[in-house]
Amino acid sequence: MESINWLAIVVATLLTFVLGAIWYGPLFGKRWMAENGFTEEELKNANMAKIYGTAFVLEFIMTVNLAFFLNGLSVQEGLMYGFATGFGWVAMAIGVNYLFARKSMMLWFIDGFYFVVSFLIMGAILTAWT
């Protein structure tokens, strides 16, 4: 715990959160809504404070968890393990769930690869700031 850089964790979490705003906004927002069958009206009626607040806490927990694994590694290793975590574990786990839920491959790409990029960012920041 002593060697964990909490500032790096907060920054990595914030950047992952910002990535989500871009990813699910201008990049893939409309397509994500269509793939989920959401309308703009449905999204406006959601409890966004609860959704954003909980998402931030969950991303913080993911970042802390990754920090324990990456502690003391180089940036190159952080990127490699960030990618391996995002692609090999998270995106593939989402893919398995989406197969059984009969969700589209496009939705899997949008959701799964958000986490690939997120864990790359986390891995880079967590190892650059050690």
Query: In this predicted model, what pLDDT tens digit does every residue of 33-58 receive, in sequence order?
Result: 999 999 998 888 989 899 999 999 99
Question: What secondary structure letter does DSSP report for 37?
Answer: T
Helix (H) / strand (E) element for 86: namely none
Name the residue with higher pLDDT: 89 or 43: 89
Pick the range with the lowest mean pLDDT from 7-11, 39-43, 119-123: 39-43
How far apart are the C-alpha atoms of 84 and 74, rounded to whole Å? 15
- Does 1 have pLDDT greater than 80? no
Mean pLDDT over 110-126 rounds to: 98
The pLDDT value recorded for residue 98 is 98
Q: How do residues 52-79 score in pLDDT, each as one tens digit?
A: 999 999 999 999 999 999 999 999 999 9
Average pLDDT, the chain: 95
Alpha-carbon dihedral sign for residues 121, 15, 42, 27: negative
* Whether 72 contacts 3, CB under 8 Å: yes
Question: In the chain, where are the structural domains located?
Answer: 6-128
Could you tell me the pTM of the whole model? Answer: 0.93
The pLDDT value recorded for residue 3 is 82
The pLDDT value recorded for residue 113 is 98
How far apart are the C-alpha atoms of 95 and 107, rounded to whole Å? 9
How far apart are the C-alpha atoms of 112 and 55, rounded to whole Å? 15
The pLDDT value recorded for residue 44 is 87
